Amino acid sequence: MTLDAAARGVESARSLAATVAIAAATMLTLLGISIGLFFNPAWVAFEQDRARADLWTGYTPQTVHTVTESVVAEVFLGPGTFAQTVAGAPVFNTRERAHMADVRRIVVAFAALVLAGILVLLLGGIRWRGRAWFWVAVARGAAVLAVGAVVIGAAFAFAFDQTFTLFHEILFPAGTWTFDPATDRLVQLFPDQFWTETSVAIAVVGLVLTVGTWAVARRMARRLP
């Protein structure tokens, strides 16, 4: 092998690694935006009202919102004890608190990945936004995520129980995430309707974002060398 051939091989490997990194960063960024848009107090309160979490819990709607705002804030900011109370009584039992602690660990890890993806995308854009291959990589990442949004959205819309179960089996230890809606506040605060509608909404918005990103990236790629 000549030195020129070896150099071309190294350059090709670097280009492939950069392309994969930009595509993955695009996927993480778009996924983080799509999910982040719906895990805020306004959307959560709206969906809890639609799912009638107040009837499930026996709390007033305002109490439901107050407790949930505290829970959502603790998922992102800690400390992760989930010791919320209503009228002096704990909202969650030991198993529910342990599950929420697991949820927080996953959310923090995912948020770190999303932030890393955003950083890679920003740095890549600063260095390579004038190159067609950068925008091709962005388009490919968006296209893959668009397909995923369609598949996952359809799964949650038409086979919610099976998809929800599979999701939890992948992410959580067996026996730690099953709760009784008749007695456990966690699933009363966040009933199936909440998750069904939120999951479909995330998939729809994610699809719009990814298709839009794909279209813009393809247009940019055609204009550049």
For residue 4, tell me if it sits in a domain: no
In-domain check, residue 2: no
pLDDT at 217 over 80: yes
| Count of domains for the chain | 1
CB burial string 70-97: b at 16+ within 10 A, e below? ebeebbeeeebebebebeeeebbeeebb
- Cα separations (Å) of 191 from 83, 125, 126, 187? 20, 41, 44, 5
In the prediction, which pLDDT does 35 show? 92
With respect to residue 150, please indicate whether it lies within any of the assigned structural domains. yes
Give a yes or no: residue 7 inside a domain. Answer: no
Indicate whether 17 belongs to any domain: no
Q: Domain for residue 10, yes or no?
A: no
Does 137 have pLDDT greater than 80?
yes
Other CB atoms within a 10 A radius of the CB of residue 158 amount to: 10
Residue range 42-62: mean pLDDT, rounded: 94
User: For the chain, percent helix, then strand, then coil, each to nearest 5?
Assistant: 80, 0, 20
Return the structure tokens found at 186: 């966690």
Average pLDDT in the chain: 89
Average pLDDT over residues 79-84: 94
Give yes or no for a contact between 83 and 214, defined as CB atoms under 8 angstroms apart. Answer: no
pLDDT higher than threshold 50 for residue 160? yes
**Which residue would you say has higher pLDDT here, 155 or 27?**
27
Burial 128-140 (b: 16+ CB within 10 A, else e): beebeebbbbbbb
pLDDT class of 140 with cuts at 50, 70, 90? very high
**Residue 176: pLDDT above 70?**
yes
Whose tokens are 């998809």? That residue is 163
**Cα 61 to Cα 195: distance, rounded to the nearest angstrom:** 18
In a domain? residue 11: no
Instruction: Report how far residue 33's alpha carbon sits from residue 89's, in angstroms, rounded to the nearest whole number.
Output: 36
Q: Count other Cβ atoms within 10 Å, centred on residue 34.
A: 21
End-to-end CA distance of the chain: 29
What domain range is 138 assigned to? Answer: 33-223
Residue 52 belongs to some domain of the structure? yes
